[in-house]
């Protein structure tokens, strides 16, 4: 058997194992959450709207937000349109163009694990730059809500969208169902929340949606199979050694590094994984075109991890946290 065939078979085996285990996790962890879920008049929505009465932006009406066409130029292509700020040129505004990608954001304060160093300190890229205001609004709306409630709210947003079919202007060529990136900001904290999203991803796909993908800092405590087979999920790690630990938990990884040695794949001491610099950071590709993170089973079967360079307005703080994580012998999140 060739190496390619072997990897394809391994990918299938991993996917089937996730599918098989998801069924029992769904029974044990997700059904109890569903049993307490709001039905006709969701009290959760009322509470969320109360919380946001004084601070509501167009995009945010609760502790989670669904963006139908992402204007994050890393996820999918955008045109930069010139703007005016008084009589001076303003910052160019990103306007999405096909192929489109949908995305969600949830309150970081309510859903990111307390162990994430970037949550406690500065350095979280979602809490800076263009998404700072959105992130603050989601946190304000989540005051008094549990992570379970926030994720349930997010699931409601996904389920409400495109009831008659997800638009077919996404995918690599712009002719397939739109892919969905969960948690550009935010995370989950337990198996039940992962399972709720896993079921929502299944319904998204059943409505003609494309692939659903995300990253998690909770890989130590949330089982990979709890996400189900319809979400591609990568463990967010800061130390090369954690790629090995995450693999033992069933996760492929994404690692933040100081700098890429070059634009080519590389190896780091402490892991056997081949590490691929994110093409959105080394070239002109977007996630919808690249799709490496949209198939975590393939990454696991091929023992490849994705690398991101510390970037954005919080880069210096990210580097401090990375050094602390390496010196402390444990990944920051």
Residue 176 pairs with which residues in a beta bridge?
170
**CA-based torsion, 281, 285, 287, 292: positive or negative:** negative
Q: 185 vs 192, which CB is nearer to ligand SF4?
A: 185
Is the omega angle on the peptide bond into residue 4 within 30 degrees of 0, that is, cis?
no
Q: Are 333 and 116 in contact (CB under 8 A)?
A: yes
What is the nearest approach in angstroms of ligand SF4 to the Cβ of residue 213? 8
What is the nearest approach in angstroms of ligand SF4 to the Cβ of residue 164? 29
Q: Which stretch binds ligand SF4 (CB under 6 A): 4-12, 123-131, 161-169, 278-286?
A: 278-286
What is the CA angle 156-217-261, rounded to 5?
A: 125
Rg of the chain over all Cα atoms, to the nearest angstrom:
19
Number of residues that bind ligand SF4 (CB under 6 A): 10
Q: 124 vs 293, which CB is nearer to ligand SF4?
A: 293
Question: How far out from the chain centre does Cα 1 lie?
Answer: 35
Indicate whether 25 belongs to the interface with ligand SF4 (CB under 6 A): no
Q: What is d(CA 298, CA 14) in angstroms, rounded to the nearest whole number?
A: 9
Indicate whether 199 belongs to the interface with ligand SF4 (CB under 6 A): no
Of 243, 274, 197, the closest CA to residue 34 belongs to 197
Q: Which of 279, 295, 315, 319 binds ligand SF4 (CB under 6 A)?
A: 279
Please name the residue that has the structure tokens 């008084």.
86
Tokens of 103: 């995305």
Q: Per-residue x/- mask for ligand SF4, residues 226 to 265, rule CB under 6 A?
A: ----------------------------------------
Q: Which stretch binds ligand SF4 (CB under 6 A): 89-97, 120-128, 280-288, 324-332?
A: 280-288
- Residue 100: phi, psi to the nearest 5? -90, 155
Q: Which of 280, 300, 322, 325 binds ligand SF4 (CB under 6 A)?
A: 280
- Residue 184: phi, psi to the nearest 5? -55, -35
Q: What is d(CA 161, CA 35) in angstroms, rounded to the nearest whole number?
A: 23
What is the nearest approach in angstroms of ligand SF4 to the Cβ of residue 331? 19
Q: Which stretch binds ligand SF4 (CB under 6 A): 37-45, 158-166, 216-224, 277-285?
A: 277-285
Q: Are 208 and 168 in contact (CB under 8 A)?
A: yes
Q: 231 vs 278, which CB is nearer to ligand SF4?
A: 278
- Judged by CB under 6 A, the chain residues 282 through 311 that form the site for ligand SF4 are 285, 287, 290-293, 306
What is the nearest approach in angstroms of ligand SF4 to the Cβ of residue 262? 16
What is the nearest approach in angstroms of ligand SF4 to the Cβ of residue 292? 4
Q: 180 vs 278, which CB is nearer to ligand SF4?
A: 278
Reported for 89-96, long-range contacts at CB under 8 A and 24+ positions apart, including other chains, are 95/71, 96/69, 96/70, 96/71
Q: Which residues of the shown chain bind ligand SF4 in the complex (CB under 6 A)?
A: 278-280, 285, 287, 290-293, 306
């Amino acid at each position: 058997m060739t190496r390619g065939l072997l990897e394809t078979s391994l990918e299938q085996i991993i996917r089937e194992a996730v599918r098989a285990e998801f069924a029992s996790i769904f029974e044990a962890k997700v059904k109890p959450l569903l049993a307490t879920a709001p039905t006709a008049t969701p009290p959760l929505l009322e509470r969320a709207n109360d919380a946001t009465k004084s601070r509501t932006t167009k995009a945010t009406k609760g502790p989670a937000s669904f963006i139908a066409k992402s204007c994050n130029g890393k996820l999918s292509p955008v045109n930069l349109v010139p703007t005016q700020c008084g009589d001076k040129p303003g910052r160019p505004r990103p306007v999405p163009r096909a192929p489109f990608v949908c995305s969600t954001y949830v309150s970081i304060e309510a859903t990111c694990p307390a162990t994430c160093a970037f949550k406690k300190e500065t350095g979280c890229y979602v809490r800076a730059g263009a998404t700072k205001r959105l992130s603050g609004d989601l946190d304000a709306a989540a005051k008094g809500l549990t992570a379970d409630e926030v994720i349930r709210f997010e699931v409601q947003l996904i389920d409400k969208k495109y009831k008659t079919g997800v638009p077919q202007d996404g995918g690599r060529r712009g002719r397939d169902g739109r892919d969905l990136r969960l948690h550009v900001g935010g995370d989950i904290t337990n198996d039940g929340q992962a399972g709720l999203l896993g079921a929502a991803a299944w319904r998204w796909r059943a409505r003609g949606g494309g692939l659903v993908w995300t990253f998690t800092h909770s890989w130590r405590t949330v089982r990979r199979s709890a996400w189900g087979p319809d979400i591609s999920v990568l463990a967010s790690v800061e130390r090369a050694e954690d790629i090995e630990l995450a693999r033992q938990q069933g996760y492929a990884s994404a690692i933040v590094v100081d700098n890429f040695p070059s634009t080519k794949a590389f190896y780091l001491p402490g892991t056997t994984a081949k590490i691929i610099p994110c093409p959105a950071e080394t070239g002109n590709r977007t996630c919808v075109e690249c799709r490496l993170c949209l198939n975590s089973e393939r990454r696991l079967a091929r023992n490849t991890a994705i690398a991101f360079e510390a970037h954005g307005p919080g880069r210096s703080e990210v580097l401090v946290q990375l050094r602390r994580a390496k010196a402390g012998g444990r990944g920051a999140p």
